[in-house]
A and B are shown apart, each in its own frame.
Chain A
Amino acid sequence: MNTLVKQFRLFTLFSRFALRTTLQARMGIVFFMLGKIFRFVFIFALLAFIFSKTKTLKGYSFEQTAVFFLTYNIIDSVSQVLFREVYRFRYMVVSGTFDMVLLKPFHPFIKVLVGGVDLLDLVLVIPYIILLIIAAFHISAITFGSVLLYILLIINSLLFASAFHICVLSMGLIFTEVDHAIMIYRDVTGLARMPMDIYKEPVRSFFTFVIPVGLMMSIPVKAFMNILVWPVIFYAFFSSWVLLWGSIVFWKRALKKYQSWGG
């Protein structure tokens, strides 16, 4: 228990320092936020344009499609809030700073996985949640149980995201390659901005059950709308834990192979 409390305190301290470091570059913050807002508004406008030409998208109304899009943004933003430090991992390995992390009496994930919390992304999550609540009021099938399941599946999605980011860290240890892996992750998860139903088989199943992008982004929304079957829900929970376990095994193997070339 003491260890968990200590790790949590370290996490909050790293987060505080990360925020203070971010606030050093005030103009950078402005441009960063403007870029994010512009991208969101642009895609939302595209969605509105599509629905000006059609009443439904694969059977989903505008509000339902908006919930898919907003859920994707919430999960993606929260992942970026938590795992921003992973984007800096290559520099840590190449410069040798990662060695200093290994020498400290705390789990390295506290620093290299969640040690650079980017609260700017968190600020944008708030309007996403507000818009989601507004859209949800137009969907009749939602119940208290479906909302609870939705929240649990979003947390489950963050486990998927954690597993992926841990795999990226492991690859960074062995190959010093992080940037392209992260770009592939962002591109692949971007497929789930819209309901996975828009894709034909076998692409839809491949990106739902094999590369679990659909499990991360679409399944929570379908649970929210009460249109999901229980086997799929169990599969989503089961596969996130399996992937997380696998990523940790990969990390431990990578640590053994780590050659500390940096510096």
Chain B
Amino acid sequence: MISVKNLTKIYQVHIRQANLLKDIFFRTYKDKAALQNASFSIGENELVGFIGPNGAGKTTTLKILAGILYPTSGTVSVLGTVPFEKNHAFLQQIAFIMGQRNQLIWDLPASDTFALQKEIYSIKDHMYKKQVEMLGGLLKCDHLFDKPVKTLSMGERMKMELISGLLHKPRLIFFDEPTIGLDIFSQEIIRNFIKSYQSESRATIILTSHYLEDVKQLAKRLIIIDKGSIVYDGSMNNIIEQYSKIKLLTVVLDKTVNQMEIRAVAPPFKYKYPKVVYKVKKEELPEKMKLVVKYLPFSDLTVEDASIEEIIKQFFKEKTWE
């Protein structure tokens, strides 16, 4: 479905000089490589997490795949076409939903934007009605369709954006930070929606997010980009296994104990009675658990992987050392 080979995108950036006259008449530019020889391919029905630090080249990649930007060099094929030729048949099959952009008509109800989308994508009446009902039902927001968009909260607007973007049943969906700025409840609703929608529609989804929990919960495959280059392309489980060197050992104490007994296991990462949390290296876990049993009276004991944020931080730390 998507094939990218040696994709490069270079921006020319103006370098400001100290002298104003020189800056106006003898302007200098610097080449900034947003993407450098990136290569990957994505098949049908995949849900791929696409992550990286700020300025890594994530959004540039998505925009090239969607045809908004022209690459400097390399080849791109999406759904069998070259995206930046902006073939209408290609555009009919994709959707790009950005958490930070609003494509709803601000002063009018969302239903008007839906009607516009219906016309743009030539959606038949019965299909349109079915999609609106299905999407509105999944997101539980039918009652918001006739309210002016400007009166909706951010979470409600995001729901309308999702419905508007998916009315035409695209085969390929780009989600660029869909949960940004939303509260934790709304984030969960959006995540669950994306999961359900993908399993029903079998669309291919590329998801970028700085909330790594989105990626962990939704994507089975992860592509990590840094400074314009692909640094990881593999399964989510693989990166968790490889880079999750730390486990979180949480002990729920039965009764209060003194600090020495807590420290006898290891210096605690967090302690607020009755919970003590230790950060433990994977290979030391059996030994630490024995110490917990020996020194601490506990009613519950759990072992968790470090958060996905910690894992990705560890990944980048090790990449820096290489």
**B88 interfacial contact with A, CB 8 Å:** yes
**A6 interfacial contact with B, CB 8 Å:** yes
Closest partner residue, chain B, to A99 (CB atom) = B68
Of the stretches A42-50, A100-108, A128-136, A155-163, the one at the interface is A100-108
CA of A17 to CA of B116, assembled, Å:
9
CA of A204 to CA of B74, assembled, Å:
52
Contact of A263 among B67, B92, B98, B106 (CB under 8 A): B98
Closest partner residue, chain A, to B118 (CB atom) = A13
Interface string of A87-103 (1 = CB under 8 A from B): 00000000111011011
CB <8 Å contact, B119 and A13: yes
Contact of A104 among B100, B112, B115, B120 (CB under 8 A): B120
CB <8 Å contact, A105 and B91: yes
Interface string of B46-76 (1 = CB under 8 A from A): 0000000000000000010011111000000
**B101 interfacial contact with A, CB 8 Å:** yes
CB <8 Å contact, B101 and A20: no
**B107 interfacial contact with A, CB 8 Å:** yes
Q: Which residues of chain A come closer than 8 Å to B68, judged between CB atoms?
A: 99, 102-103, 258, 260
Q: Which residues of chain B come closer than 8 Å to A256, judged between CB atoms?
A: 70
CB <8 Å contact, B91 and A100: no
Q: How many A-B contacts if CB must be within 8 Å?
A: 66
**A186 interfacial contact with B, CB 8 Å:** no
Chain B, range 80-123, C-beta contacts under 8 Å to A: 86, 88-89, 91-92, 94-96, 98, 100-103, 105-108, 112, 115-116, 119-122
CB <8 Å contact, A9 and B94: no
CB <8 Å contact, B91 and A21: no
Q: Which residues of chain A come closer than 8 Å to B122, judged between CB atoms?
A: 6
CB <8 Å contact, B101 and A21: no
Q: Which residues of chain B come closer than 8 Å to A97, judged between CB atoms?
A: 101-103
CA of A96 to CA of B177, assembled, Å:
15
**A75 interfacial contact with B, CB 8 Å:** no
Q: Which residues of chain B come closer than 8 Å to A10, judged between CB atoms?
A: 119-120
CB <8 Å contact, B88 and A21: no
CA of A146 to CA of B299, assembled, Å:
99
Q: Which residues of chain A come closer than 8 Å to B88, judged between CB atoms?
A: 105-106
Closest partner residue, chain A, to B116 (CB atom) = A13
**A140 interfacial contact with B, CB 8 Å:** no
Closest partner residue, chain B, to A110 (CB atom) = B120
**A24 interfacial contact with B, CB 8 Å:** yes
Q: Which residues of chain B come closer than 8 Å to A103, judged between CB atoms?
A: 66-68, 91, 94-96
CB <8 Å contact, B116 and A99: no
Q: Which residues of chain B come closer than 8 Å to A17, judged between CB atoms?
A: 105, 108, 112, 116
Q: Which residues of chain B come closer than 8 Å to A14, judged between CB atoms?
A: 116
User: Chain A interface residue count: which class?
Assistant: 20 to 34
CB <8 Å contact, B120 and A96: no
Interface string of A14-41 (1 = CB under 8 A from B): 1001001100100000000000000000
CB distance from B103 to the nearest CB of A (A): 4
CA of A250 to CA of B171, assembled, Å:
33
CB distance from B33 to the nearest CB of A (A): 14
CB <8 Å contact, A263 and B101: yes
Q: Which residues of chain A come closer than 8 Å to B107, judged between CB atoms?
A: 20-21, 24
Known A99-B68, A259-B69, A263-B98; judge A105-B112 contact (CB<8 A).
no
CB distance from B91 to the nearest CB of A (A): 4
Closest partner residue, chain A, to B105 (CB atom) = A17
**B40 interfacial contact with A, CB 8 Å:** no
CB <8 Å contact, A263 and B100: yes
Interface string of A65-92 (1 = CB under 8 A from B): 0000000000000000000000000000
CA of A17 to CA of B117, assembled, Å:
13
CB distance from B81 to the nearest CB of A (A): 12
CB <8 Å contact, B108 and A100: no
**B11 interfacial contact with A, CB 8 Å:** yes
CB <8 Å contact, B119 and A105: no
Q: Which residues of chain A come closer than 8 Å to B121, judged between CB atoms?
A: 105
CB distance from A111 to the nearest CB of B (A): 10
Q: Which residues of chain B come closer than 8 Å to A96, judged between CB atoms?
A: 98, 100-101
Interface string of A120-153 (1 = CB under 8 A from B): 0000000000000000000000000000000000
CB distance from B317 to the nearest CB of A (A): 30
Known A17-B108, A259-B11; judge A100-B103 contact (CB<8 A).
yes
CA of A47 to CA of B120, assembled, Å:
48
CA of A13 to CA of B100, assembled, Å:
25
CA of A99 to CA of B89, assembled, Å:
18
Known A20-B108, A21-B107, A256-B70; judge A105-B98 contact (CB<8 A).
no
Known A21-B105, A21-B107, A24-B107; judge A102-B67 contact (CB<8 A).
yes
Q: Which residues of chain A come closer than 8 Å to B101, judged between CB atoms?
A: 95-97, 99-100, 263
Q: Which residues of chain A come closer than 8 Å to B95, judged between CB atoms?
A: 103
CB <8 Å contact, B116 and A102: no
Q: Which residues does A use to contact B, with CB under 8 Å?
A: 6, 9-10, 13-14, 17, 20-21, 24, 95-97, 99-100, 102-106, 256, 258-260, 263
- A–B Cβ pairs within 8 angstroms, 7 of them: A6-B119, A9-B119, A21-B105, A21-B106, A99-B63, A103-B95, A258-B68
- Lowest 5 CB-CB distances: which A-B pairs, in order? A105-B91, A105-B88, A100-B103, A21-B107, A105-B92
